[in-house]
């Protein structure tokens, strides 16, 4: 049965040392969902503040798992998947 890729596991990023400075922000990453449902080749597209949360976001996205896209009954990779990870302090 054909179908699009779907997230199965999304891991919340760990808050880096910026927490002690009271910073909040976000990171937009682009990556490939492989035919096995893993994340490959993530790159930072945008972040605010720049570079503060990039590594924490990268570490989290590499733990994501997807149900791969299926075309003509075969799992295929999907490039250009984007995800925004937000870093917010608890209220």
Task: Judge whether 79 lies within some domain.
Answer: yes
Q: What is this structure's pTM?
A: 0.86
Residues sharing a CB contact under 8 Å with residue 91, sequence separation 6 or more, in sequence order: none
Alpha-carbon separation of residue 83 from 5, 10, 21, 41 (angstroms): 14, 10, 25, 13
Any idea what the CATH number is for the domain that residue 42 is in?
A: 3.30.2420.10
Residue 21 phi, psi dihedral angles, 5° rounding: -90, -5
Task: Judge whether 17 lies within some domain.
Answer: no
Task: Judge whether 16 lies within some domain.
Answer: no
Q: In the chain, how many domains are there?
A: 1
- The residue segments making up the domain with residue 54 are 6-11+23-87
Alpha-carbon separation of residue 90 from 15, 48, 55 (angstroms): 11, 18, 21
Cα angle 30-72-75, degrees, rounded to a multiple of 5: 40
What's the pLDDT tens digit per position in 43-58? 999 999 999 999 999 9
Task: Judge whether 64 lies within some domain.
Answer: yes
What's the pLDDT tens digit per position in 23-43? 899 999 999 999 999 999 999
Task: Judge whether 27 lies within some domain.
Answer: yes
Task: Judge whether 59 lies within some domain.
Answer: yes
């Amino acid at each position: 049965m054909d179908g699009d890729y779907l997230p199965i596991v999304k891991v919340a990023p760990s808050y880096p040392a910026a927490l002690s400075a009271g910073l909040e922000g976000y990171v937009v990453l682009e990556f490939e969902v492989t035919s096995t449902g893993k994340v490959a080749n993530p790159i930072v597209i945008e972040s605010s503040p720049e570079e503060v949360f990039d590594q924490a976001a990268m570490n989290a996205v590499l733990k994501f798992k997807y149900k791969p896209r299926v075309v003509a009954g075969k799992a295929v990779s999907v490039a250009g998947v984007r995800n925004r990870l937000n870093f917010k302090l608890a209220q």
